[in-house]
A and B are shown apart, each in its own frame.
Chain A
């Protein structure tokens, strides 16, 4: 009898647990949908007024006269992100290869927590460091060296700070990628007369390609969305940057600088919501693309 009762209550408990888990799951899954929906709803006023294309490709940002051109901000974001990625990619790849293929095991053991600590430093600190070191370096040294008169607050400064920020993040994934490749695969290549470097180039990088793409895709979406550190060093001038030494004004900085301040201007909050939506869609896009490439590569190799 008592056994029966336990059974009943257990199945009941399972059901309760089950339904709670379902609720949580639905909540987590619906989060992005709710966010996207909210952003769209808030920005739809502006979208209806101007149309997507004219907003994205228009260069004029004059909120007081009702002109909301996002082009300079989007271009700034792309510039900063690409600069960061181009700077970070070789460093990450070579460091990961060195740590997993050449370094003694204790080096990797020390580096792992170091990388984790670097990844955990709050971005404001990277921003402060950027103002103290990177901006003056570009303004005083690099600028004079290249014979340009620049302030230092520039796309390049943002790119450098961002690169430093995403390096530990990407490096962590890359180390896992290379560590997960079975050593027998390198042994096979070496036993065919390949050198270590040939093995890395032709076999390991190829085998790890989906993971490498994923690492950089995720790093890119992180760089694209990073706000505070970039905002502190990038200059924040709403003009289309024409070079690395020009100031820029990426989307996240636009939102962070202006939200809650100039909302008395008609459509302004709608415009900021739209930039948030663009940010959201782009970051989601990066994620989807990297995942798609992983899936495609998994099938091929």
Chain B
């Protein structure tokens, strides 16, 4: 059996009186791509945001249960929240570059993590830009504002920015939904390369994308996990009626 990177048990999320996630039990395997699949509004984004505790930002959000990362509970802990969040790179539905130039978008996380001399910083920035195949496109205009890039380039920049703080996990929330087909493909290819070294969680409601990328699938519906397991078994041999219907495109 694989090593489990993130282990979620008995997780409930409430916004005020409304319950968004209901008794979630799920495992995210290490150095694989896990796809969280399900129709819009079923709570995929919410589940992802629990994993790096962005739910803390909402005063009316309440969490119960456990999320273990490397065996350590991140919900009920006195550990520094910033060090927990740094374990995970986040990629949002649309790219949100920081309001600074291309170079500083990557350097931001590095500078915050600790002092680094100029030469070292330059090297790291180049390294991560190369890792997302952006270096050749931007090396002559590192001082340009990041918003001057195309949306597809911006999303790759956001990926590089996340990688720069040396996370173990990548959380991606429908990372291609704002992109054109070519840029989407570029991002998907990156995920396939990156899973050598990172545990990747991708939220999507696009079945075909899930089939292309997933090693492991978590299928959600109305705030609950319906079925989960290795991708082959999940797509070829779903156990539950609801899953079969969904895979046949009977509901969204």
Contact = CB atoms under 8 A, between A and B. Distances in A.
A105 B92 contact: no
Contacts of B52: 191
Interface in A186-203: 186-195, 198, 202-203
Interface stretch (B93-101, B181-189, B195-203, B204-212): B93-101
Q: Is the interface of A mostly helix, strand, loop or mixed?
A: helix
Nearest to A196: B57
B99 A188 contact: no
A268 B91 CA distance: 68
A206 interface: yes
A180 to B, nearest CB: 13
Interface stretch (B25-33, B79-87, B120-128, B221-229): B79-87
Interface stretch (B68-76, B158-166, B230-238, B243-251): B158-166
B39 interface: no
Contact of A206 (B99, B109, B147): B99
Interface string A173-191: 0000000001111111111
B98 A193 contact: no
A203 to B, nearest CB: 6
Interface in B87-122: 88-90, 92-94, 96, 98-100, 108-109, 112-113
Nearest to A193: B86
B97 to A, nearest CB: 8
A187 B59 contact: no
Contact of B96 (A185, A198, A301): A185
A104 interface: yes
A186 B145 contact: no
Contact of B82 (A183, A187, A194, A206): A194
Q: Which of B54, B86, B96 has the most CB of A within 10 A?
A: B96
A73 to B, nearest CB: 41
Contacts of A300: 145
A207 interface: yes
Contacts of A192: 85-86, 108-109, 112, 161-162, 164-165
A300 B143 CA distance: 11
Q: Is the interface of B mostly helix, strand, loop or mixed?
A: mixed
B88 to A, nearest CB: 7
Nearest to B93: A184
Contacts of A203: 98-99
B90 A187 contact: yes
Contact of A198 (B93, B99, B112, B171): B112
A193 B85 contact: yes
Interface in A81-122: 104-105
A193 B145 contact: no
Contact of B98 (A104, A105, A189, A195): A189
Nearest to B82: A193
B60 interface: yes
Contacts of B94: 184
B162 A301 contact: no
B82 A195 contact: yes
B96 A193 contact: no
Contact of B54 (A105, A191, A198, A207): A191
A188 B90 contact: yes
B251 to A, nearest CB: 29
B92 A187 contact: yes
17 contacts: A184-B92, A184-B94, A187-B92, A188-B90, A188-B92, A189-B98, A190-B54, A190-B57, A191-B85, A191-B89, A191-B90, A192-B162, A192-B165, A193-B85, A194-B108, A203-B98, A301-B99
Which 4 interchain pairs have the tightest Cβ spacing? A193-B86, A192-B109, A191-B90, A301-B99
Given A187-B92, A192-B85, 9 more contacts: A184-B94, A187-B54, A188-B96, A188-B98, A190-B82, A191-B90, A192-B162, A192-B165, A207-B99
Interface of A: 104-105, 182-195, 198, 202-203, 206-207, 300-301
Interface of B: 52, 54, 57, 59-60, 82-83, 85-86, 88-90, 92-94, 96, 98-100, 108-109, 112-113, 145, 147, 158, 161-162, 164-165, 171
